[in-house]
C-alpha cells in the first residue's frame, strides 16, 4: 500500500479576513493572549485537514466543515485533487453561509 501524499492547504482572502477578524475581536476585549493564540491554533488545525481532507462531513454550507474540538470555530473548505482550500473560518454560533 502506498502512503497518500497530504494535500497542500491554501487560504482564500475571506478566510484570511476571518482570521484577522477573530484576532481583532479578542484584542477589542483586551484578551491579548487569545488575540494571537486563537488564530495560531486555528492555523495549526488546517494542515491536519490536508492529511485527511475527506474526513469531515459536508455541512449546511455545501462545503466540508471541520469543527474544532478545543475552540468554538469551524473551518469550511473545499478539496481539489491536490489542495485543501480554506474558504471561511466562523464561530460555531455564527450562521453561514
Q: Residue 56 domain-assigned?
A: yes
Structural domain total, the chain: 1
Domain, as residue range, for 52: 8-91
Q: Where are the alpha helices (DSSP H) in 1-97?
A: 13-28, 32-51
The span from the CA of 23 to the CA of 36, in Å, is 6
Going by their DSSP bridges, the two strands 83-91 and 8-11 should be labelled as: parallel
In order along its 97 residues, the chain shows pLDDT tens digits of 455 677 899 999 999 999 999 999 998 988 888 888 999 999 999 899 998 888 888 887 789 999 998 999 999 999 999 999 999 999 999 876 6
pLDDT of residue 12: 97
Q: Residue 29 domain-assigned?
A: yes
State the CATH number of the domain containing residue 85: 3.30.2310.20
pLDDT of residue 3: 54
Amino acid at each position: 500500500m502506498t502512503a497518500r501524499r497530504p494535500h497542500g492547504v491554501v487560504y482564500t482572502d475571506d478566510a484570511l479576513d476571518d482570521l484577522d477578524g477573530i484576532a481583532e475581536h479578542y484584542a477589542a476585549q483586551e484578551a491579548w493572549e487569545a488575540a494571537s493564540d486563537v488564530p495560531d491554533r486555528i492555523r495549526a488545525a488546517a494542515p491536519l485537514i490536508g492529511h485527511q481532507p475527506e474526513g469531515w462531513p459536508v455541512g449546511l454550507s455545501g462545503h466540508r466543515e471541520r469543527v474544532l474540538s478545543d475552540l468554538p470555530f469551524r473551518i469550511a473548505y473545499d478539496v481539489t485533487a491536490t489542495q485543501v482550500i480554506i474558504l471561511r473560518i466562523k464561530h460555531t454560533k455564527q450562521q453561514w453561509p
